[in-house]
Amino acid sequence: MWRDPIFINGNWLDAAQTFPVYNPATGEEIARIADGGAAEARRAIDAAEKALPAWSSTTAHVRSAILYRAWQLMLEHKDSLAALMTEEQGKPLKAATNEVQYAADFLLWFAEEAKRSYGETIPSARADQRFIVQHQPVGVVAAVTPWNYPVSMITRKLAPALAAGCTVVLKPAESTPLCAIEVFKLLHQAGVPDGVINLVTAKDPAPIGEEFCTNPAVRKLTFTGSTAVGRTLGQRAGGQLKRVSMELGGHAPFIVYKDADPVHAAKGASLVKFLNTGQACICPNRIFVHADIVDAFVETLVQRVGKMRVGAGTEAGVAIGPLVNAAAIAKVDAQVTDARDKGAQVVCGGQQLQQGALGKGHFYAPTVLTGVTDQMLIYKEETFGPVAPVIVFNDNDDVIAMANDTSYGLAAYVYTQNLSQAMRAFEGLQFGIIGINDINPTSAAAPFGGMKNSGLGREGAREGLMEYMETKLGGFSI
């Protein structure tokens, strides 16, 4: 078993206490990790504050070169990182490998974008005046990342922060600290100076979150996780008017119009709904299918879902891995039970899997529900599990209103062969990311983020860099 210490100012430090990390597929303890708290967070913030002047004054080309080297190192260690992720987080090895590639993409993108943090000149009405705009790093950044994408969510925050010239303190999810440790080792090896990146692992995130929100040296907080926790952190950070960006929960609609190919749409739905065992904020949570094609859609969806193999991510051919913990199983099962009790039909799956080796982990059968109505919990609440609820609609205008009837606004999906219908849906849906006949509308080069209770700000793209920069105006009288 590992017992890795906390990383502050370029040093791996011991902690008095440790906490266990478990493999969700087997229930086995795989490591014991340093259990930090508010004191360690303060030390890390102090180190980041001291490192800020030197790091922020380095040229964009120097920062770019370090990120480029980190990209190379991550690709060189892709297989080992993916294997660790599968052991620690549970997703199938192929999916873990894809995530490492996605994580590396952010390092490369922001290595390039660092050199494009352009300013501008603005014409003045006065002949003796000149306006110049510069973008400068916001300062010390506190970052909190989730367990469901334990590598890519780190680079999606750290890469733009480093490119902008900020220093960072990261608190990774308590379920997946091992991936964070390995990413920090690679960044340190790539040449990130001491104090520029700092890592504090902990079983209880609350004291560290409190320090992040109240320490005046922290000028920006970036968080990916639940809306409830994000709201709490945002309220606390608001007391000091810190910059905040948050990627929170989702309740994605998946709309299949009458003119769509139901087989093609069902194939797409089966892929994106069960992505990461349904444990992704962009997974569809409400699948709206026109009444004229719902039978063909459901038939194909059930055929594909029924073939999905469930098991440990290390096993060949596994498509559905474990959920993160017992609480996740209980939440999914409660939603399925509620839907069944209120009239929904369970046409595939619908139960926790406990036979044989599956009984040691947190496995739930990939599930398809039909007859879902707005009276059911699954219609209103994010599931974060492998359940596909199908809802029938008849009117195109009604379905947009149904899709928008949520406090969330992260991702949405539309299947149609009609360009006008696609444009009306794109413009009418109140979501930050919309895939039109596309189940993967994400990239390091594209802005990622939501509306309403799904978050603030954007990650990736040029917008991702600007989240870590302040705009400074100079007025020169000549």
Residues forming the active site: 247, 281
**Amino acid code (one letter) for 169:** V
Provide CB contacts within 8 A for 127, sequence distance 6+: none
HSE (side-chain half, CA atoms, 13 Å) at 382:
24
8 Å CB contact between 57 and 29: no
Cα separation, 57 vs 423, in Å, equals: 45
C-beta contacts of 423-430 below 8 A and 24+ residues apart: 424/400, 425/255, 425/400, 428/400, 428/404, 429/253, 429/400, 429/403, 429/404, 430/404
Other C-beta atoms lying within 10 Å of the C-beta of residue 120: 10
What separation in angstroms does the CA of 3 have from each of 20, 34, 194? Answer: 9, 7, 22
Cα separation, 74 vs 80, in Å, equals: 10
Tokens of 190: 């790539």
| Residue 428, φ and ψ in degrees, nearest 5 | -90, -25
